[in-house]
């Protein structure tokens, strides 16, 4: 697995794409106040209608809002939808 990550990291460096493309770091995309996409997650550690916490490498991401729900979840990405008030990065 380390060999695969090293190869992906070198490829990202050569293409000047940054570390997030090598699956080392999580990628967080916020679409307005209605959707948050998190790639390269390690699972959900807290789930509620007003707060969802997702484990990522070196910490967690807390999404705060109203009527929150997991719209989609795969091994590599998840989508949280609802009325988003904020996103916190926790170490």
* Complete domains list, the chain, with CATH: 25-90 (2.60.40.2000)
Task: Give me the pLDDT at residue 7, please.
Answer: 65
Q: What residues does 46 pair with on adjacent strands?
A: 53
Q: Report how far residue 49's alpha carbon sits from residue 6's, in angstroms, rounded to the nearest whole number.
A: 39
The percentage of the chain sitting over the pLDDT mark of 90, rounded to a whole number, equals 69
Position 86 pLDDT exceeds 80? yes
Distance set, CA 15 to CA 1, 4, 26, 29, 43 (Å): 21, 17, 19, 21, 29
Position 21 pLDDT exceeds 80? no
**Among 43, 30, 42, 45, residue whose Cα is nearest residue 80:** 30
CA atoms within 13 A on the CB side of 10: 5
Q: Report how far residue 64's alpha carbon sits from residue 25's, in angstroms, rounded to the nearest whole number.
A: 21
> Greater confidence, 6 or 78?
78
The pTM (predicted TM-score) of the whole model is: 0.75
pLDDT (tens digit per residue) in 26-68: 999 999 999 999 999 999 999 999 999 999 998 999 999 999 9
């Amino acid at each position: 697995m380390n060999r695969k990550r090293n190869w992906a990291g070198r490829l990202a460096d050569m293409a000047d794409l940054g570390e997030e493309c090598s699956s080392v770091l999580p990628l967080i995309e916020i679409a307005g106040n209605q959707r948050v996409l998190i790639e390269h997650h390690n699972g959900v550690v807290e789930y509620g209608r007003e707060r969802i916490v997702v484990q990522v490498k070196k910490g967690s991401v807390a999404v705060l809002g109203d009527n929150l729900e997991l719209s989609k979840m795969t091994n590599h990405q998840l989508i949280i939808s609802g009325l988003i008030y904020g996103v916190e990065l926790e170490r």
